[in-house]
């Protein structure tokens, strides 16, 4: 069984834009996979479909064997999503954001508080737990989104351009954090337009161009070709 198995995935937006033209892609369990491509290539559309924020036009998607069309709730349980844009209530406090997120997944409060403490400490946000989200810096907001995505202990963590717009120091510490999470067993897929980021972290890479997957290989094979 794969962490992710996509076959013949297409997407035409309502305005007529054809964002994906038949993507086939598998990601092994435990892998760290980069989806690399220029702006507009179709990265966000692909992960939007996997995380059920965007409807696909055709094709099949399976996450840990669960079919997106038939078993949506099970798929959602498996996935933690870190979107590119901050999408939490800016007036909510950091701790409450995490506890409410856990609530969506039926996690009882006492467990949620414990998990929130673990992630806030690991992501260096513990001191900010009583602050409203709007008081956080951009880098802190991004770490908060990662903590939120991990609250229900997903098997697959998906991040859309996780280090876009963050300074070099935070980028390095996020890379270290993600490498640790992956070593502890979480499969990770991230999108990026930096080859360097993919190279630092990922074992497999897919290159997407104009809605088509034009390369899909082990990172070491790609590096040998360059
Ligand atoms: P990437 O994440 O690689 O930058 P996207 O998946 O965001 O690429 O975009 C792929 C294509 O789909 C682009 O041409 C983009 O303009 C278009 N697109 C993305 N989202 C929408 C939308 N909601 N409605 C219409 N077109 C969209
Ligand atoms: P439903 O359609 O069943 O109401 P939603 O799509 O609203 O489900 O969301 C289900 C779960 O996914 C919720 O816990 C919600 O907080 C989470 N979620 C939805 N969109 C995002 C997102 N962009 N980033 C992180 N979590 C999200």
Taking the CA of 37 as reference, the closest ligand is 1
Residues 6+ away with beta carbon under 8 Å from 40:
none
Residues 6+ away with beta carbon under 8 Å from 173:
124
Distance 205 CA to ligand 2 centre (A): 27
Q: Kindly report the number of other CB atoms within 10 A of residue 222's CB atom.
A: 20
What is the pTM (predicted TM-score) of this model? 0.89
Q: How far apart are CA 43 and CA 206, in angstroms?
A: 10
Q: Which residues line ligand 1 (CB under 6 A)?
A: 13, 15, 17, 19, 37, 39-45
Protein residue with least CA distance to atom 14, ligand 1: 40
Segment holding 67, helix H or strand E? strand 66-67
Q: How far apart are CA 24 and CA 134, in angstroms?
A: 39
- Full pLDDT tens readout for the chain, 226 residues: 999 999 999 999 999 999 999 999 999 999 999 999 999 999 999 999 999 999 999 999 999 999 999 999 999 999 999 999 888 899 999 999 999 999 999 999 999 999 999 999 999 999 999 999 999 999 999 999 999 999 999 999 999 999 988 899 999 999 999 999 999 999 999 999 889 899 999 999 999 999 999 999 999 998 888 7
Q: Is the CB of 95 under 6 A from ligand 2?
A: no
Residue with tokens 């939490």: 88
Protein residue with least CA distance to atom 26, ligand 2: 81
Please check whether residue 147 is in contact with residue 123, taking contact to mean a CB–CB distance below 8 angstroms: yes
Complex ipTM value: 0.73
């Amino acid at each position: 069984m794969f962490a992710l198995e996509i076959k013949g995935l297409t997407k035409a937006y309502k305005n007529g834009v054809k964002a994906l033209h038949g993507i086939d892609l598998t990601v092994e369990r435990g892998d760290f996979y980069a989806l690399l491509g220029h702006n507009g290539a179709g990265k966000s559309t692909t992960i939007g479909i996997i995380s059920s924020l965007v409807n696909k036009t055709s094709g099949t998607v399976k996450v840990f064997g669960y079919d997106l069309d038939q078993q949506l709730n099970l798929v959602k349980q498996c996935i933690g999503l870190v979107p590119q844009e901050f999408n939490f209530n800016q007036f909510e406090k950091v701790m409450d954001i995490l506890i409410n997120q856990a609530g969506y997944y039926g996690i009882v409060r006492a467990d949620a508080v414990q998990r929130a403490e673990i992630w806030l400490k690991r992501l260096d946000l513990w001191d900010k737990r009583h602050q409203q989200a709007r008081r956080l810096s951009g880098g802190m907001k991004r770490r908060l989104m990662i903590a939120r995505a991990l609250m229900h202990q997903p098997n697959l963590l998906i991040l859309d351009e996780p280090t876009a717009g963050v300074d070099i120091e935070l980028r390095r510490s996020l890379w270290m954090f993600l490498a640790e999470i992956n070593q502890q067993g979480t499969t990770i897929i991230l999108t990026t337009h930096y080859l360097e980021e993919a190279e630092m972290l990922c074992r497999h890479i897919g290159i997407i161009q104009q809605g088509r997957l034009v390369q899909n290989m082990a990172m070491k094979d790609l590096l040998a070709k360059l």
